[in-house]
C-alpha cells in the first residue's frame, strides 16, 4: 500500500494506556481531535480511578479463555492481560511464553483461578460450556459460582470500548458470585 502512496497507519496496543494513546492519535489522524479529547475526558480519569482502587486490594486470580477445543488463553504480553491487571485481576497464565497458549482443563484447575471469564469472542462461549469446569469443584471459581459469560469486545478491542471493561470487570472480580 505504501508503494502505491496509500497512507498506512499501524497500531499494536498491548496495554490500556496504549489504547488510550491510540484514541488521541486516531483523533489527530482523522481530523477529529475534539472528539478524541471528549472520549478521553471520560476514559482517562476512569482508568486512573480503577487502577487506584485495584492497587488498594489483593489481585484476584483469573482465567480468561479465548478458545475452546482446545482451550486457549492469553499471556502477559497481551492487551487482555493488561485490562485484567488494571481492573484488579492476575492472569493465571501470564507466565506462559506463548502469547496465546493452549491449556488443558487440568492445567486451569491447577492454577486455581478465583474467577473464570468466558467471552463471546473469538470463540462464542455459552452457558453449556460452563459445564466443562464442573469436574473441578475444588477450584475456587467453580466452587463459588464465579464463572462469568462476558461480552469479549470490552476486554479485547482497544479503544473506547475499554470503558465498559473498566466499569464492569472490577465488580466481577470482587463479587462473591
* Low pLDDT (below 50) residues in the chain: none
pLDDT digits (tens, 9 = 90+) for 73-104: 999 999 999 999 999 999 999 999 999 999 99
Give the pLDDT confidence score for residue 28 in this predicted structure. Answer: 96
What would you measure as the largest C-alpha separation in the chain, in angstroms? 59
DSSP state for residue 175 in the 8-state scheme: S
Instruction: Provide the β-strand partners of residue 119.
Output: 150
For residue 64, the surrounding DSSP H or E stretch is: strand 60-64
What does the pLDDT read at residue 155? 96
pLDDT at site 177: 66
Contact 119, 150 (CB under 8 A): yes
* Stated pTM of the model: 0.93
Ramachandran category for residue 94: left, alpha or beta (phi over 0 → left; psi -120 to 50 → alpha): alpha
Bridge partner list, 118:
149
Which superfamily is assigned to 55-174 in CATH?
Nitrogenase molybdenum iron protein domain (3.40.50.1980)
Nearest-10 crossing angle of helices 33-55, 79-86: 60
Amino acid at each position: 500500500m505504501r508503494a502505491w502512496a496509500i497512507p498506512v497507519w499501524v497500531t499494536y496496543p498491548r496495554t490500556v494506556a496504549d489504547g488510550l494513546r491510540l484514541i488521541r492519535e486516531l483523533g489527530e489522524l482523522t481530523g477529529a481531535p475534539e472528539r478524541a479529547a471528549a472520549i478521553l475526558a471520560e476514559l482517562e480519569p476512569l482508568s486512573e480511578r480503577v487502577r487506584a482502587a485495584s492497587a488498594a486490594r489483593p489481585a484476584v486470580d483469573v482465567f480468561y479463555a479465548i478458545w475452546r477445543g482446545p482451550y486457549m488463553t492469553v499471556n502477559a504480553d497481551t492487551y487482555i492481560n493488561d485490562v485484567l491487571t488494571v481492573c484488579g485481576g492476575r492472569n493465571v497464565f501470564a507466565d506462559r511464553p506463548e502469547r496465546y497458549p493452549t491449556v488443558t482443563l487440568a492445567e486451569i484447575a491447577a492454577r486455581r483461578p478465583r474467577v473464570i471469564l468466558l467471552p463471546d469472542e473469538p470463540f462464542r462461549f455459552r452457558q453449556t460450556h460452563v459445564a466443562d469446569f464442573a469436574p473441578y469443584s475444588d477450584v475456587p471459581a467453580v466452587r463459588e459460582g464465579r464463572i462469568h459469560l462476558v461480552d469479549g469486545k470490552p476486554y479485547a478491542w482497544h479503544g473506547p470500548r475499554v470503558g465498559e471493561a473498566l466499569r464492569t470487570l472490577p465488580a466481577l472480580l470482587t463479587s462473591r458470585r
